[in-house]
Structure formats: structure tokens, C-alpha cells
Chains A and B, each alone.
Chain A
Amino acid sequence: MAVCVAVIGKDNSPLYIGGIGNDTSSDNELSRQWLVHTALDALEERLTTANPNNSGTNTTTARTDLRDLYLGLLFSTDTHKIYGYVTNTRIKLVLVTSSTSPSGSNIRDAEVRTALRRLHALYADAICNPFHLPGDQITSPKFDKQVKNIMLNNV
């Protein structure tokens, strides 16, 4: 079960960080921000290694990484696993699962992939809001509700 989901903008500013569980505790809020922030480094590293010189000496595995938006497991700590997804418009989506809870420890890669694709679709809908300026944080309660749905459905 996903613990936290984050949408990060082009210039690495957080557009949305949402989690389930003890939302009101400030400790949780801080630890979520910290986890997502550490994920940024791993994302950049994956992007630059997937973009070596395009002179045709790429192996086929590097080429599939280059074409895929989903980046897979970025890294895992003792308690959490972090998955990343970068869109063509340089928006980064990060999903954090807890590896200690019983439902979170056996999450399959395919489930995370579909969850992140659904999140991408939700994000595309959220920015079509005419009152949303590019680069602003996403404050729509509908987006919030749908994201929490995705996190809970991921059982």
C-alpha cells in the first residue's frame, strides 16, 4: 500500500505531496518531504545515465530505459521503497511504499507502474483547470481525493 505520493515540477519544486495515515502529524509531513527530496537525486541520476551520447553504441537495455517513462525502483531504505516516473514534460512523479507493513512488502512492479500511469492521467487533468497557472501547487480537492483513492486501491 502506498504511503506517499508526490508530484514535482520542472524546476524540482514540489507541486503536490500527499500521504495517507497520520496526516495531521507534522513529523509525518516532514519525513515525507525528506524522502521525496532524496528521491530527486536518484531520479536525476537515472535520467543522465539513460541519456548517454546518442551515437548508436547504446545497448538495447539502455535504449528501452531511454524510451520508458517509468523508471522503476529508485532506491530503498530500511522502511520504505521509492519508485519514480518522469514525464516528457519533465514532471517527476514519486511513489513511496512502506516495506514494513504487511500489504506494502509484496507490492509488484506492475502495480506501481499502473498506479503511476493513473497518477499521470490525473495530473494531466488537473493542469487543464483554467485557474491553474503552470508552476503553481495543485490545490484541487478533487485531485486530492482521487490520489488518495489510488494510494488505497493499491492493496
Chain B
Amino acid sequence: MADDIIFELLHSEIINYSIEKFKNNDNGEKETDLSVVEYIGFAAGYKIMERLTREWPRFKDELDTMKFICTDFWTCIYKKQIDNLRTNHQGVYVLQDNAFRFLTNFSNGHQYLEYAPRYVAYTCGLIRGGLANLCINSIVTAEVQSMPSCKFHIHVQRT
């Protein structure tokens, strides 16, 4: 009964712990360091991708890989699929989730909006780690305009 919420609780405590531990008291600005949380997501995404793609046939191209991320990968972790995938076919993809699991418990609008970035950092790392294991180097950022909907921007680095 409480199974759904366990991951969310663990995730919010990881965020709280990392922010408290790595708080830089020297500079007066209120800057939160999220790189540790992003790296935790990266390592997790990297390892989970190996297990997830075991039974899956080979991906035809990059778009196929992105569709896999939107369906299977998201379903495995967040129990739902990405609602909208857009691309410009030049290596930029936008994944939109209208009910992002970590943000649904916050608010239904603009309350607590300034705290939203810390709750999507882990997921940015997760996507980046998963793609890195599939040999796609990318930069993943997130944009939250109104809760609980969230957009992830993926820029694929093509050398």
C-alpha cells in the first residue's frame, strides 16, 4: 500500500541531506549545489539502463532510443509514460511530463515554484546516465513553469 511513495520519500530526503551537507556558507547568496544529486542520478541511470535494455531488441536510431526512454524507462521508474515528445531532428529533444511524480505532492500551480529545481535534478542525472550508457552524450536540463508539469530538454552532443 505504501510502496508507491517509498521512492519519493527517499528522494526528498536525499535532496534535503545533500543540500544541508554541501551548503556553501561562505558566499552570501542563496545558491544550492545540486551537482551531487545530479551525479547520484547519473550513476543510477547508467546502471539501470543495462538491466532495462537486456530484453529489448537493438535500437534503430537515436529517435528510437528517445522513444524507449519516454515509454519503458519512464514507466519503470515513474509508473507512467512521458506525455509529449518533441524534437527538431538536430539533436534537441523536449520531453514533457504533465504530472511529474515528484512534483504532484507539491502544489497545483505556482506555490513553491522556487523549490522545484532541486526536485528535478536527480531526474536530469537519471536521463543523462541512461543515455550515456547507450553511447549518447548529452546535456539534460529541466524547466518547470507550473506544477506538476515539467519539461526535460535533452541536447545531444554530436562530435
Contacts and interface: CB of A to CB of B under 8 A. Distances in A.
A131 to B, nearest CB: 12
Size category, B interface: 10 to 19
A136 interface: no
B135 A90 contact: yes
Question: Would you call the interface of chain A mostly helix, strand, loop, or mixed?
Answer: loop
B50 interface: yes
A88 interface: yes
Contacts of B50: 87, 89, 91, 123-124, 127-128
B58 interface: yes
A123 B53 CA distance: 12
Contacts of A121: 54
Interface in B15-53: 46-47, 49-51, 53
A98 B113 CA distance: 64
Most buried by B among A68, A89, A91, A127: A89
Interface residues of A, number: 19
Interface of A: 10, 54, 66-69, 86-91, 120-121, 123-124, 127-128, 134
A120 B54 contact: yes
Given A89-B133, A127-B47, A134-B46, A54 B54 contact: no
Contacts of B51: 124, 128
B133 A69 contact: no
A14 B71 CA distance: 33
B71 to A, nearest CB: 15
B56 interface: yes
